């Protein structure tokens, strides 16, 4: 698994794992698996570092998955050409908002998959802080980034390597809810979950900025899915923050016995969730492995 030439994520993604990808890949590689699943794909830093021969990748974001599928397709060179020779020469605040407006009309439905993918990548690289956010109407609503220099929007050599790997490997990309993988996972498979993180309540009980459409009830549902996959004989690897809820949910106590879940790595990370000081906090991230015969927290 993996290659001598690294493949990097082609988009910036909130909660991305670039910094810790090597350590997570080391854990996953030691566990071993038949088929790799990652249902909160995002920028795919772990998947692209691991480069498994068989992978089922999914995300709830259809524009993101469309971009992956275009890179896998024989039209990936058209994607590079559109960005380099059509979009980049027009780079400006006005052009940014023109592209952003596509999902406020029927224009995005009229464009083919390649131009939609080019728009998605351009907006990601030129928007404020690389955030992907939509409003209640599912319209992309992040403002222009106002960078002083024209950013490098696409790395053509990286896209070439990505395309070759996607074609050589058995890599499937689906736009769907994370629970949909349940019907595909079998004994001997491994699932890496990287959901929106839980965050400990502060003195004021403030947690609204952490929701991102993934509530504490969703965290509990994810745990139930992980339990079912372990019972089936799969291994699950989960990234999350080390909060009281997560500790209790996965029974991550030092004296836990016969618990399939154990903490294998801990990271201290500062996450910038928003633009205010209140939204910038340091978290203890943990990497949990769950499988039959687990020996509890270390």
- What is the C-alpha separation between 102 and 110, in angstroms, rounded? 9
> What string of H, E and C letters represents the secondary structure of 156-191?
HHHHHHHHHHHHHCEEEEEECCHHHHHHCCCCCCEE
Specify the pLDDT at position 203.
35
* Residue ranges of the chain with per-residue pLDDT less than 50: 203-211, 273-278, 297-298
Specify the pLDDT at position 281.
60
Specify the pLDDT at position 147.
79
Specify the pLDDT at position 151.
80
247 neighbors 262 (Cβ within 8 angstroms): no
Say what the pTM is.
0.90
DSSP 287: E
SS3 240: strand
CB atoms within 10 A of CB 86: 12
CB atoms within 10 A of CB 290: 22
Per the DSSP assignment, residues forming a β-bridge with 235 are: 190
Q: What are phi and psi of 219, to 5 degrees?
A: -60, -40
- What is the C-alpha separation between 37 and 55, in angstroms, rounded? 6
Q: What does the block give as tokens for 297?
A: 């927290």
Specify the pLDDT at position 271.
58
């Amino acid at each position: 698994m993996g290659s001598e030439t690294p493949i990097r994520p082609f988009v910036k993604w909130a909660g991305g794992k670039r910094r810790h990808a090597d350590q997570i890949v080391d854990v996953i590689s030691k566990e071993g698996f038949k088929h790799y699943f990652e249902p909160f794909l995002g920028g795919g830093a772990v998947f692209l570092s691991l480069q498994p021969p068989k992978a089922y990748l999914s995300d709830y974001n259809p524009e993101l998955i469309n971009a992956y599928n275009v890179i896998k397709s024989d039209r990936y060179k058209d994607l590079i050409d559109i960005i380099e020779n059509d979009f980049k020469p027009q780079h400006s605040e006005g052009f940014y908002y023109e592209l952003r407006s596509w999902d406020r009309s029927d224009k995005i439905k009229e464009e083919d998959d390649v131009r939609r993918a080019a728009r998605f990548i351009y907006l990601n690289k030129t928007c404020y802080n690389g955030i992907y956010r939509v409003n209640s109407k599912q319209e992309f609503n992040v403002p222009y980034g106002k960078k002083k220099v024209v950013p490098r929007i696409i790395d053509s050599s990286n896209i070439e390597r990505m395309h070759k790997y996607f074609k050589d490997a058995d890599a499937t990309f689906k736009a769907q809810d994370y629970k949909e993988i349940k019907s595909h996972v079998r004994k001997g498979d491994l699932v890496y979950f990287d959901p929106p993180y839980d965050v400990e309540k502060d003195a004021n009980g403030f947690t609204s900025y952490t929701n991102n459409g993934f509530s504490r009830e969703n965290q509990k549902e994810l745990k139930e899915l992980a339990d079912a996959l372990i019972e089936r004989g799969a291994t699950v690897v989960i990234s999350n923050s080390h909060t009281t809820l997560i500790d209790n949910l996965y029974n991550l106590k030092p004296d836990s016995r016969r618990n399939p879940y154990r903490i294998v790595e801990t990271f201290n990370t500062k996450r910038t969730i928003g633009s205010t000081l209140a939204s910038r906090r340091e978290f203890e991230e943990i990497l949990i492995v769950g499988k039959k015969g687990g020996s509890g927290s270390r």
